[in-house]
Structure 1
Amino acid sequence: MSVVPTPAAAVSAPAPCSPQDVRRVACIGAGVIGGGWAAHFLARGYDVTAWDPAPDAAARLRRLIAAAWPALEQLGLAKGASRDRLTVAAALEEAVADAQFVQESAPEKLDLKRDLLARLDAATPAGTVIASSTSGYPMTDMQTQAADPGRLVVGHPFNPPYLIPLVEVVGGELTAPAAVDWASRFYDAAGKSVITMDREVPGFIANRLQEALWREALHMVANGEATVAEIDASITEGPGLRWAVMGPMLTFALAGGEGGMAHMLDHFGPSLKSPWTRLDAPELDRALYDAVVAGCEDAAGGRSIADLVAERDRGVIDVLRATGRLPGSAEGAAR
């Protein structure tokens, strides 16, 4: 049975340096998300030490970073940025021994997260902020075994972290507010677009919105109402183009013309009662599973995952460039 720390344990020692002065980052977990974080931090000019228990982790991580590097070069590398500034540690304790910030990206298993965050807390220098890339667990549920839960925060990225700017930052019940503030300022200095949440929300913000769309898409496939290709085209050729410039709320406000959102709600509000969405998830039976997998294979049209990654990266960079959001010089990163 785990012991839940008392609220007094939430008070952490001050971070050992300011967010702008961080030079060394530890990335714990080197899969798609952890590797993407490592690539991002390297491109921003940091020294990165990574650790992952998988026997092939080092080779896999270097392949992932090599694949991401062309996109990062287009985004613009910080002065001194180099893949040679990556070190892959043989042990977790070695990886965080001199870390000034820790990004944990282990698999989404609650017991694993609890144990790993407790180990990181024990091995990381006092006061150093430790962030989890969890995509669903609240930090309150993950920080229960740490001796100093006050420095544990969520830093939820979007795939791939080296390309998509957004990171959602939020603490748990035992997280010190100063740690949340420090993490937000660090991510900002590291070139991310930061949403600092003032409360925990299951699934955070963007995932909740993505999940609603995903569930409706699965219903449409399951019911034979649309194909995978039609669903994807309906977004990339439709509202996705608007969402790249402004979000769904302002997009709908514009639908109200000069009357804005008020006119839109007056005019279209009754449609909220129409049976347009089914937020309960459909049963993921074998038929639906096979239909979605086959549909994605058809949509890929023979392109490999590597081909699709490169295509996605080029597309996102083009959108960032076209909308004036392509990062310039990497100010604030390690010099």
Structure 2
Amino acid sequence: MDNHSIKKITVVGTGVIGNGWIGRFLANGYDVVATDPAENAEARMRAAIDKAWPAIEKHGIAPGASKDRLTFEPDLATAVADADLIQENAPEREGIKRSLLAEIDSFAKPEAIIASSTSGLMPSTLQADCARPERVIVAHPFNPVYLVPLVELVGGKATSPEVVKVAEQFYHSINMKPLVISTEIEGHVADRLMEAIWREALHLVNDGVATTEEIDAAIIYGPGLRWALMGPFLTLHLAGGEQGMRHMLAQFGPALKLPWTKLVAPELTEELSESVINGCEQQTEGHSISELEQRRDDFLVELQELLEKYWPGANLNGKI
């Protein structure tokens, strides 16, 4: 099997991530079948695609790409029967995902690839109940999937290396940046990094050090600007001057022993929850979620254009 044998795609689960995948696949000229047992799922799905389509078109679509190439099929068995790739997006609960993936595995044709969008569960766990675990892989995207290019690919103990290779080629072909993670770990890579910042941010709010708005500003106007181009390692490499990371570690390495961070999450008390919720609501007062999503999407389109301009040919092999 190779990347070119992936013609028919089925998306299972049409929440935020599932609909994001639908937008990404449609934008790249694929026919997509979607399925979801929830009431009014089709109407919500089509409304979400309509809403995202202007940003998708601005970002760029393939010849022949159309919203009309989307079909909703309520029956799971029928929906996955002819698919070459099945993208699963069920709620992030192990029991639900394992059961659903086993069902998909029993209905799908033998050569189909089954990809889970799980943000934290390991593929070996997810594929445990499947008759053909070798074709099950984690393909974890980031919201909004139709614009953000990163997808983390993780194979389980039983996943075929060939499936990983084909998946990498396929996701690359739909203008994504596939990051193949060789070692299974809960939360994969990007979510573990985001979780560390999220936990520390909760402590800062809980301890009365900063508000949600101040914490967001600290990232937006500081490290966030640099991370969009370089990430944490190259940012600190440049902080070391001409000697780069060698000098940075010699100069600031001892500070790693200082108790600057807590990392273990604070207890999510009602008081902390209200502080975070009220802070976010005050930050966004007068702006609807829909308006904020549109602003985010327009920003991401232009930001990626800047990234291509200032980091031409950037890839995931660490080479500039």
TM-score scaled by structure 1? 0.91
Which amino acid in structure 2 is aligned with residue 275 of structure 1?
A: P
Which amino acid in structure 2 is aligned with residue 94 of structure 1?
A: T
Give the equivalent residue in structure 2 for 1:85. 69
Provide the rounded CA distance (Å) in 2 between the counterparts of 1:234 and 1:19.
42
Which amino acid in structure 1 is aligned with residue 113 of structure 2?
A: V
The match for 1:232 among 195, 216, 219 is: 216
CA drift at 1:257: 0.5
Provide the rounded CA distance (Å) in 1 between the counterparts of 2:159 and 2:121.
15
After superposing on structure 2, the runs of 4+ consecutive aligned residues of structure 1 that deviate more than 3 Å are: none
Q: Equivalences for 1:122-271 in 2 at 5 Å?
A: 122-271=106-255
Which amino acid in structure 2 is aligned with residue 24 of structure 1?
A: K
Give the equivalent residue in structure 2 for 1:285. 269
Asked whether the 8 Å contact 2:84–2:111 carries over to 1, the reply is: no
CA drift at 1:174: 1.2
Which amino acid in structure 1 is aligned with residue 210 of structure 2?
A: A
Give the equivalent residue in structure 2 for 1:8. none
Which amino acid in structure 2 is aligned with residue 168 of structure 1?
A: E
Equivalent pairs counted in the alignment come to 310
CA drift at 1:98: 1.1
Q: Secondary structure at the match of 1:30?
A: coil
Provide structure 2 residue ranges, at least 5 long, that are not aligned to the other structure.
Answer: 311-320
Provide the rounded CA distance (Å) in 1 between the counterparts of 2:114 and 2:55.
27
CA drift at 1:325: 6.3
Give the equivalent residue in structure 2 for 1:58. 42
Q: Equivalences for 1:9-158 in 2 at 5 Å?
A: 15=1, 18-158=2-142
Provide the rounded CA distance (Å) in 1 between the counterparts of 2:289 and 2:236.
34
Give the equivalent residue in structure 1 for 2:258. 274
Higher relative contact order (CA 8 A, sep 6+): 1
Provide structure 1 residue ranges, at least 5 long, that are not aligned to the other structure.
Answer: 1-14, 327-335
Which amino acid in structure 1 is aligned with residue 231 of structure 2?
A: G
Give the equivalent residue in structure 2 for 1:11. none
Give the equivalent residue in structure 1 for 2:318. none
Provide the rounded CA distance (Å) in 2 between the counterparts of 1:137 and 1:302.
37
Q: Secondary structure at the match of 1:324?
A: helix
Asked whether the 8 Å contact 2:137–2:153 carries over to 1, the reply is: yes
Provide the rounded CA distance (Å) in 2 between the counterparts of 1:100 and 1:323.
32
CA drift at 1:71: 0.9
Provide the rounded CA distance (Å) in 1 between the counterparts of 2:260 and 2:62.
46
Provide the rounded CA distance (Å) in 2 between the counterparts of 1:59 and 1:325.
39
Which amino acid in structure 1 is aligned with residue 266 of structure 2?
A: P
Asked whether the 8 Å contact 1:19–1:186 carries over to 2, the reply is: yes
> After superposition, what is the alpha-carbon deviation per residue over 1:46-76, rounded to whole angstroms, capped at 9, x for unaligned?
0000001101110111111111111111111
> After superposition, what is the alpha-carbon deviation per residue over 1:149-170, rounded to whole angstroms, capped at 9, x for unaligned?
0100000101111111000001
CA drift at 1:252: 0.4
Q: Secondary structure at the match of 2:308?
A: coil
Q: What RMSD in Å do the two structures reach over aligned CA positions?
A: 1.1
Provide the rounded CA distance (Å) in 1 between the counterparts of 2:122 and 2:197.
22
Give the equivalent residue in structure 2 for 1:329. none
Which amino acid in structure 2 is aligned with residue 274 of structure 1?
A: L
